[in-house]
Structure 1
Amino acid sequence: MIFDPNVILNHLPEIISGIGVTLALWIAGMAVGVALGFVVATARRYGGRVIDWPLGLAVEVLRGTPFLIQIFLAYYGGPFIGISLDPVPCGLMCLSIYAAAYYSEVFRAGYGAVPHGHVEAGECLGLNRFQIIRRILLPEMALIVLPPSVNLAVILLKESAVLSIITVPELTTTVSAIGSQEYAFLEAIFLLAVIYWVIVEAAARLGRLAETRLSTFRFAAS
């Protein structure tokens, strides 16, 4: 078996398109997941047991079942309850909900890491709940939740490859099809490994840079 780089070069436009789809789904799914996860964590913290219990159960189910199974249920099981989605919207929805379950736990841990005395000080100053969240909890928990959030973002990027199972035209689907078409499976697997490694490394470096900047700003402000 001989490694042929021409296989990659001849299909460069398709590969670039697959990378674009992967990045778009990853960034959009992560953004929705962060926003939804923050809402879930906040609702569980301040909504009482009536809200905390069902949301907690949903989070545990999503975190306790494989992402592959969730995609299968959404894409192939959805039509049985009247929900029929195309591969890309279905993949984005599944990735966003999956991310939200994990990000909600990250934010919930961040809430718990802020000293309660800081919240009490805000209440003594007459701040309402929204002001306490915006002015006290969010700034203090930002540095706490950033490292696990970056790690989770890396995990989500690699999990996005599973979307190929429902024919989402992302990187894994595109490169696998090229490998099957050209009988170049070694080139396809090698290319996938290199591209994912480059993206993951770039995301990790950006996360470390953001953590350094945030830490510097925090200590400068204090």
Structure 2
Amino acid sequence: MIGFFNDLPFYLSGLATTTAVSVLGICIAVLVGVLLALSLRSRLRFLSLTVRVYVEFARGAPLALVLFLLYYGGPQFGLVLSPYVTGIVGLGLYGAGPFAEIFRAGLDAVPKGECEAAAMLGLTPGQALLHVELPQAIKLTLPPSVGQAINLVKESAVLSVITLGELTKVAGAISSISFAVVTPYLTVALLYWALVETIARLGLYAERRLAAKGS
């Protein structure tokens, strides 16, 4: 027990790193995902096909491969990133593909009649997207988006391959010093659970708020 409290600052440091990198990575994934979703619906065939290739690659490639390409392959092309920045960018680029599919499906699910009604009222396509399609798509895509955010948090466990001091890396370091296996990894598992549960609760709260506004 004394050893656990001595290691507590390291666990908290790893939790802070995991939380910060995951949240920032999710934000990038959502923003890029929205842009990709809009591009997938573009009438420009070349643009939609190019984005489709990227989305399929992001959905199929392991996160560890993306991280290796950025962190170890980037310097060969003059791109030198710290482990912290690599983790954020890697999670963002990796998560953008699934988010793009989620948002595309949500936008496609908005009834066509509402978009036509917006056009009849004199709204430009951009205004219709902002005021009609996106608000409804957000309600439709919130549950799967929360699920994808949770997946990214759990995927962040592989960030230790680029020497980032997140939770899994901390558990490995403590285990190698103390020769304990169960306590470090069980503690980290509980911290991941707490982080995931927090995101799930926030998602439920957001769903209820949106449902209350729509009623």
Residue 91 of structure 1 and its aligned partner are, at CA, apart by: 1.3
Distance 2:61 2:36 in 1: 19
Using the size of structure 1 for normalisation, the TM-score is 0.93
Aligned partner (choices 95, 98, 102) of residue 99 of structure 1 = 95
CA offsets per residue over residues 60-100 of structure 1, 9 Å max, x none?
01111111111122222222222222211111111111111
The count of residues paired between Structure 1 and Structure 2 equals 215
Using the size of structure 2 for normalisation, the TM-score is 0.96
Distance 1:59 1:100 in 2: 8
Aligned partner (choices 106, 115, 133) of residue 111 of structure 2 = 115
Residue 47 of structure 1 and its aligned partner are, at CA, apart by: 4.9
The correspondence of residues 1-222 of structure 1 with structure 2, limited to 5 A, is: 5-219=1-215
Amino acid of the residue matched to residue 214 of structure 2? R
Distance 1:98 1:201 in 2: 22
Distance 1:121 1:144 in 2: 20
Instruction: Report % sequence identity.
Output: 40
Residue 56 of structure 1 and its aligned partner are, at CA, apart by: 0.7
Contact map agreement 1:110 1:145 (CA 8 A) in 2: yes
Amino acid of the residue matched to residue 213 of structure 2? F
Q: Which moved more, 1:147-156 or 1:79-88?
A: 79-88
Contact map agreement 1:7 1:184 (CA 8 A) in 2: no
Q: Which runs of 5+ in 2 are unaligned?
A: none
Distance 2:16 2:43 in 1: 39
CA offsets per residue over residues 116-146 of structure 1, 9 Å max, x none?
1111111111100111011100111111000
Q: Which moved more, 1:173-182 or 1:39-48?
A: 39-48
Distance 1:15 1:193 in 2: 11
Residue 20 of structure 1 and its aligned partner are, at CA, apart by: 0.6
Distance 1:120 1:46 in 2: 18
Q: Which runs of 5+ in 1 are unaligned?
A: none
Amino acid of the residue matched to residue 71 of structure 1? L
Distance 1:71 1:83 in 2: 13
